[in-house]
Amino acid sequence: GKRADLTRADLSSADLYRANLTGAKLYGANLTNAILTYAILTRADLRFADLARAHLIDSDLTGADLSDADLSGADLSGANLRCAELSGANLTGVDLTGVDLTGADLTCANLTGANLSDANLTWAYLTEANLSDANLTGVNLIHTNLIGAILTGAIIDKKRHIADSKN
């Protein structure tokens, strides 16, 4: 069917539980406090969208474009963010517990204080990303690009040292 065009729409506090928004155009949309639990947002255009404090628990954001989006304080626990575009996104204090970020682009993203425990960052790009005070306990950093990333105060478990991911 036709992709939903919700460019710059005001969907703040909207209940979009289990909504199918595959490929939807949500450029610059206001989704603050929106309930997007179990929502399907594969390949959705969420560039510059405001998703502050949104509930994205177990949502499918595979291949979604979240460049420069504001996800501060959002709950993304259990979300699928494989191959998602998150360059320049604000992920300050975001719950990314157990999230699949395989192949995701987080170049220049702000992940200050984010909880990435048990997240999969295989083949992810974190070039010049800010991971200050982020929780990286149990994170899979195989082939992760951390060139120029800021890791001041980041929590890494005793078994895994940040040096392991430099090759």
pLDDT digits (tens, 9 = 90+) for 104-157: 999 999 999 999 999 999 999 999 999 999 999 999 999 999 999 999 999 987
Distance CA 80, CA 113 (A): 20
Average pLDDT, the chain: 93
Which residues are paired to 55 by β-bridges?
A: 35, 75
pLDDT of residue 156: 86
Which residues are paired to 148 by β-bridges?
A: none
pLDDT of residue 3: 81
Amino acid at 114: A
Q: How many C-beta atoms surround the C-beta of residue 15 within 10 A? A: 12
SS3 sequence, the chain? CCCCECCCCECCCCECCCCECCCCECCCCECCCCECCCCECCCCECCCCECCCCECCCCECCCCECCCCECCCCECCCCECCCCECCCCECCCCECCCCECCCCECCCCECCCCECCCCECCCCECCCCECCCCECCCCECCCCECCCCECCCCECCCCCCHHHHCC
User: To the nearest 10°, the Cα dihedral for 109, 74, 46, 58?
Assistant: 110
Sorted by sequence, the CB contacts under 8 Å of residue 38 that are 6+ apart come out as 17, 18, 57, 58, 59
Question: What proportion of the chain, given as a percentage, has pLDDT over 90?
Answer: 90
Contact (CB, 8 A) for 45 and 28: no
Q: pTM for this one?
A: 0.91
pLDDT of residue 161: 47
